[in-house]
Structure 1
C-alpha cells in the first residue's frame, strides 16, 4: 500500500496531493472495478456523479431486482474504471433486502462482480458513526480508500481533523473532500490509480471461544480471514450464493457451538465503538462548542409542522404541477410543430408505401415521444432539487404520521413518492421495508400513484377539454386539473391500503427510522445529470416501444383481410357521390372507412361492446391494448390511428383529436368522454413492467394477478360511473 500525504489548504475549500508513493501503478488499458460504499447522506451519490458524469446506467444486481447504478470514470489518461454505487448502509449487518446485495457482493471473492477495491465515503462532521462501517470493511481485508467528505460542514461545526494522523490510525489512504463541489476528486483519482493493498490495521478480533467455529468455516470455504468467516456464521441463511448444503453445514456449526448472533453483534458493536472513540481522541479536535440551535432545527420546526408542514408540501406540489403545464407548453409546441413540419416536408417531396410508413408510422410515433421531453425534464428537475436540498427526507418523515393510520409503514412513503416518477424502481425500493405486511401493501398500491408515463396521456386529454385560462391571476386551470388527477391516484392508494390493512393479518410490528440530511443548496450539476439520465431513459426505452408499436399499428391500420379495404373504399366513394361531398370530404370518408375495415379496425370492433358503456370507441380500444406495454404509448397509438390515410396530415396530436368526429358528426372527445378516459388511466394498471417487477418482488403470480384484476376493475368501475353520470 502506498502512503499519501495530503495538505489541507483550507478545510472544505481545497486539497492538494503533495506526494504520493505507491507500490506500482495499475496496468494501462485495464478496467478496474471500484465499489462506492458509505452511510446514507455521506455524499456517496455526489461523489459517484463527480466521477462518472453522464457515463451512467441503471440495472439490477445479479439475481435480484435491487437497483444497481454503475458508471465509467476516467481515472488516469490510461486507466478507466467501472464505478458501482452500492446502497447506503450503516453496517455490514443488513436489515433490509437492498442492503443484502452489499454483503452478497463483498463476501464472494470468486464473483465476477467482486471489486478491486472500495471507496468508503464518510461524513467528516459525524466521523464516529461513519467509521463503524469502515472498520468492518477494513477487517474484511478489502483494499480501501477513505474519502473524508463534507470537510466544509466539519469546519462549520468547529471540528478539526488531523488527516495524516487519521491515515496512520486506519491504515489506508485518507482523502479530505467536498464531493458536491468536486473538491478532492483529483487527489482521490491519483490514489485510485495505484495498486492498493489491504488495510494494515485491525479494529476487532473475535473472542477465543468463537475461534474453533470460525476456523472450521474459514477452512471449509477457503476464506482469507477470520472476520469474513464470522460473517458467514451471522448471515448464512441470507447469503444468496451459498447452496442449501453449505447453509446447512454452517447451521450445524452454529448450533454445535451455541452461537448467538444478536448478542455477538451487539458485543462487537460495543467493542468497535470503544476502539473508534480511542482513535478519534488522537485525530479530532473540536475548536468550539456550538451554543446556538442549528438553523436546520429551526427550519424543521416549520417544514415538519403538523399544520404548516402539510400546507407547504401541498404548495410545493401545486407549484410543480403548474410548472409541468405552464413552463413546458412553449417548448412542447415547438417540438410538435417541428415534427409536423418534417412530416409535411417528407410528404410534399416523396410518395409511396415506405413514405406512408415513415410519416404515418415512424414520425407519428416519434412525435408522441419527443413532445413530452420538456414535461419529463421539469418533473425530474423538481424531484432532484427536493432530494438535493434535503427536503424529500422531511416529507417522508412528515407523511409517516398519515401513512400509519392507513396500514402503511413510514418507509412506504419513499416508494409512493417515487411512484410519481416510475412504479418499477418504486416497487423495488419497497425492499427497505422489513415488515412483510407493510411491504406487500406498499407494493400492491404503489401503481395507483400516477407515474411520469401518464403525463403524456393527461396532457393531451386535459389540453382538449380544459380551458387554458388563469385562476386567481397566477395559477393555470390545466395545472390544477393535472394536480387533481395525481391527488385522485394518491387517495385511491391510501384507501386501498386501508382496506388491505384489515384483510391481511400479521403479528409483525413495524418501525420507522430515518436520518435527516443537512439542508444544502442544490448542486445544479447533479440536478442536470439526473434530468439528462431520466430523459435519456424515457426517449430510448419508452421511445423504442412507442415507435415499434406505432409501426405495427400502421401496418395493421393500412391493411385488412381479403378485399375488405377495396370494398370499403368503393362503398365510401359511392356514399360520397350520393351525398355530393367535396373532394376533401370524400377522401376523409374513404380513409375512415378503410381504417375501420383494416386489421386494427377489426380488433377494435371486437373490443368495442365491452368499452362502449365507458364512452370509448374502437379506436380508443386499440389504444388501451397497446398502452399496456407502456402508458405513454397511448399518445403514439392515437397519433398513428388518426394519421393513417390522411394525405399531408401535418396537424399536431392535439389538432387531430380536437377535429375527431363521432357517427353523428359531433366532436368525439367531449368533456365527459375525456374525463372518463382520464379516470380510467388514473386507476388502470400502469404497464407490463410493473406486473413483472411485482412478480419478482413477491416471488409468485398471486399478487401480480390480484393487482391487475383489482386495478382494472377499479378503473372500469370508476370510468363507467363518470361517463354514465356525466351523460
Structure 2
C-alpha cells in the first residue's frame, strides 16, 4: 500500500510541531535532508486504511528564505523530483497573525500544490476577542479552512479525515508585474517550468539548491540582461500579496470589543524587566542545577544497584573465563557508567524544554541580546548556546537562524564551550570525588559547584567570541527582529515526546560508542606483551609469600599487576608523560584519550578499568572505587588538585568527533573544526596545568 506524503508548513511559533506530535505520537523519526544538516522530521499514522507520511517542514515566514532551513522549504516545494516532495500540504496559520500566515499560504497555493489551511491556536483568538469567519475565509481561499487547537486536540480528527478528501489545486493567480513578464517567460521556457509564478520565484531567489550550475547560469544571465534585482522582485510580490490579503482579512476578521492588555503582556512587564528579569532568569537556572542533584539521587542509586546486581549475576552464571570477564568487567560496567546519569540528563533536558514550551525562551533571547552584542554575538545566539547545554550538535545547527554571517560563525565556534549533557556524567563523578557533600547557606554545595562549571563554560564562550569579533570583521550591523509567542501552559505530551527523543538519542548514541570502547579496553587489558604479563601468577604468588597477603589481597594484586603490564597499561604509560604535568596517571590518561571520541566515554572507561582492577564485591559504585585508588607512595590519586584539573580540562577541551564533523558540515571547510580542536584543547590543558600546580 503506497503512503501519501503530507507536509505541515507554517511560520515559526504557530504550533506546527505540536500538531505534528499530536498526529504521529512516537511513530516518528528525525534525520537530515539530503546534502544538508537541516532537521527532517517524519511521522507516520493511518487514516481510513490509508498510510500517511507526515513531514514537519522547518518554520518559514515566506518562500523567500533568509536562512539555511528556510532554503530547504522552497527547494522541496519547487522541485517535484525531490524525494520529500509532498502530495498534499497543510499550511498552519495563527489567528492573531493571520496576514502573515496567509502570505505563506498564497505562495504555496500558487505553486500549484494541493493545499488546505489550518488555523491553529484558536483559543488565543478568543482571548484576544478576535472573531474569524471560517466559512468566508474558506470561500476566499478556495480551499477548506480547519480551525484547531493542537494543544488540546481540537480539530485533529477533522484534519485526519480531510486528508482523504479533495485538496484545492488552484491555478496560479499571481500576476507577474509588466516589468518582468518577458524575462520570466524566457526563464519558464528555457527551464521548462510549469507556471509563470514558479519562473518568477526562480528569478527572485538568489540561491536554489537543486538547480544545476548551468540552470543557475541561465537565470543569472537573464537577470543581468534585464536588470532584475531579486530583492526588488520579492518586495513587488509581497506588496501585491498584501493588497489581496488585506481585502480578505477585512471581510473575515472582526473584533468583539476593545482590545485589552493580554496576560502575556502583563507578565512581560516582570519577566523582561531590566532588573527583575535577570534575577528571575538566573534564579531559575540556580534551581535547575539544584534539582539535577537532589531529584536524581534516588533513581541514580537504584540504577547503580541494578547494574551491580547484573554484574554479580553475570559472574555467577557465566563463571570464570574470558566471556564472563568481558561481560562482567567490560560491557556491564561500561554501559552502567553512562546509564546511571540518565536521571540527571533527563532533568536538565526537561527544564530546557519547559522553558521553550512555555514561551519563556524567547524572552531569554530578548533579555540577553544587549549583553551578547559586545561579544560579537546576537540575542539569537542564546538559543543555540542554551541548546548546546543538551548537546552541541543541535545547538550548532540552530545557529542557521542567525542572519549575520559573522555572528552565525562565532556562535558555531563557541557553542562547544557550553556544558553539554555528555559532560554531565564526568562532572557528576568528579564532583562526588573531590567536593564534600555539604550544604552552603542551605543549598547543596555540589549543586553550586555544578552551576559554577556551567557558568564557566558560558564565560569561556563569551571570551572566545569577543576575541573572534576582533579577528573576524563584518561590514554589516545586525539587529534583533523577532516576535514573542504568548505564554502558555506547556503541552505535556509534546514536552515528553521531545524529552524521549533527546534522551533516547543520547542513550543510543553514547551507548554504541561506550559498548565499542568497553570491548576494546577489555581486549587490550586481557593481553599483554612481555614476561611480566605472562608470568603474573608466579610473580604475585612470590610477592604474596613475602608480604603475607591474604587470598583476597593476592587476587587484587594479581588483577592490578595484569592490568599494569597489559597492552592497555603499556598504552597508558606511553601517553602518561603528556598528561603527568596536569596530574594524571596512566589510568586517567587512557580515560582522557578515549574521551576525544566522545566525552561521556571517560566514565565508561574508568568504570571498565577500575572494575578490572577490583575484586571487592561491596564496592559497587565506581565513585567508591576511584576514591580508594592510591598512588605508589600511598597518596590518593583523585585528590583536590587532580579533580579540579580534570574538571577544567573537560570544561574546555574539544572532545567530540561528532561536533567537529557537524562544524565542518556547517562551515563547508575543515579550517574551523581544526581551529576549534587546537584552541579549545590547548586552552583546556593550560587551565588544568595551572589549577593542578596551584592546588598541589
TM range (shorter): over 0.9
Q: Is 1:559 the counterpart of 2:527 in the alignment?
A: yes
Contact residue 448 and residue 492 of structure 1 kept, 8 A: yes
Per the alignment, residue 22 of structure 1 pairs with: none
Alignment: residue pair count: 694
Match for 1:383 among 334, 352, 362?
Answer: 352
1:28-60 Cα shifts (integer Å, max 9, x gaps): x22221221111111111101101111222211
Shift of 1:604: 0.7
Secondary structure in structure 1 of the residue aligned to 2:691: helix
Q: Counterpart of 1:20? A: none
State the Cα distance separating 1:195 from its structure 2 match: 4.8
Q: Is the 8 A contact 1:381 1:531 kept in 2?
A: yes
The corresponding residue for 1:710 is 679
Query: For the Cα contact (< 8 Å) 1:569–1:593, is it kept in 2?
Result: no
Q: 1:658 aligns with which of 617, 623, 627?
A: 627
User: What's the counterpart of residue 4 of structure 1?
Assistant: none
For residue 553 of structure 2, what is the aligned residue in structure 1? 585
Name the structure 1 match of 2:233. Answer: 264
Partner of 1:8: none
Q: Tell me which residue corresponds to 1:61.
A: 33
Query: CA–CA distance in 2 between the matches of 1:503 and 1:297?
Result: 40
Deviations 1:498-541 (A, max 9, x none): 11111112312222211110000111111111111112111111
TM-score (norm. length: structure 1): 0.93
Residues 116 and 168 in structure 2, CA contact (< 8 A), matched pair in contact too? no
- Post-superposition offset of 1:398: 0.7
Cross-structure match for 1:515: 483
Q: Is 1:534 paired with 2:502?
A: yes
Residue 398 of structure 2, aligned match among 429, 438, 447:
429
Other-structure match for 1:673? 642
Is the CA contact 1:148–1:174 (under 8 Å) kept in the aligned structure 2?
yes
Q: Distance in 1 between matches of 2:194 and 2:251?
A: 31
Q: 1:47-446 alignment to 2 at 5 Å?
A: 47-74=19-46, 76-199=47-170, 204-235=174-205, 237-290=206-259, 292-351=260-319, 352-446=321-415
Structure 1 segments (4+ residues) deviating >6 Å: none
Q: Does 1:625 align with 2:593?
A: yes
Segment drifting more, 391-400 vs 502-511: 502-511
Q: CA deviation at 1:721?
A: 0.4
Q: 1:43 aligns with which of 15, 24, 27?
A: 15
- Secondary structure (helix, strand or coil) at the match of 1:240 reads coil
Structure 1 residue 562 displacement after superposition: 4.7
- Structure 2, unmatched stretches of 5+, are none
Q: Map 1:472-491; keep pairs closer than 5 Å.
A: 472-473=441-442, 475-491=443-459
Cα distance change, pair 686–32 in 1 and its aligned pair in 2 (3 A): farther
Post-superposition CA distance 1:673-713 (Å, at most 9, x none): 11110110000003001111111111111111111000010
CA contact (8 A) 2:71 2:209 kept: no
* Conserved 8 A contact 1:344-1:648: no
- TM, length-normalised to structure 2: 0.97
- Residues 121 and 149, structure 1, Cα contact 8 Å, conserved in 2: yes
| CA distance in 2: counterparts of 1:354 and 1:492, whole angstroms | 45
**Kept in 2: contact 1:558–1:644 (CA 8 A):** no
The answer to whether the Cα contact below 8 Å between 1:32 and 1:80 also exists between their aligned partners in 2 is yes
Aligned to 2:426: 457
CA distances 1:137-170 after superposition (whole Å, capped 9, x unpaired) = 1111111121110111111111111111111111
- Could you say what the CA RMSD is over the residues aligned between the two structures, in angstroms? 1.5
* Residues 528, 534 of structure 2: 8 Å contact kept: no
Q: Tell me by how many angstroms 1:286 deviates.
A: 1.4
- Identify the residue that residue 6 of structure 2 maps to in structure 1: 34
Q: Which is worse superposed, 60-69 or 566-575? A: 566-575
- Post-superposition shift, 1:645? 4.9
CA distance in 1, matches of 2:89, 2:634: 68
* Alignment equivalent of 1:604, drawn from 569, 572, 577: 572
1:291-321 Cα distance to aligned partner (Å, 9 max, x none): x322222211211122211111111111111
- Cα distance, 1:354 vs structure 2: 0.7
Partner Cα distance (1:524, 1:635) in 2: 32
For structure 1, which runs of at least 5 residues remain unmatched after alignment? 1-28
Equivalent position of 1:688 in the other structure = 657
Closer, same or farther in 2 for the Cα pair 1:77/1:572, shift >3 Å? farther
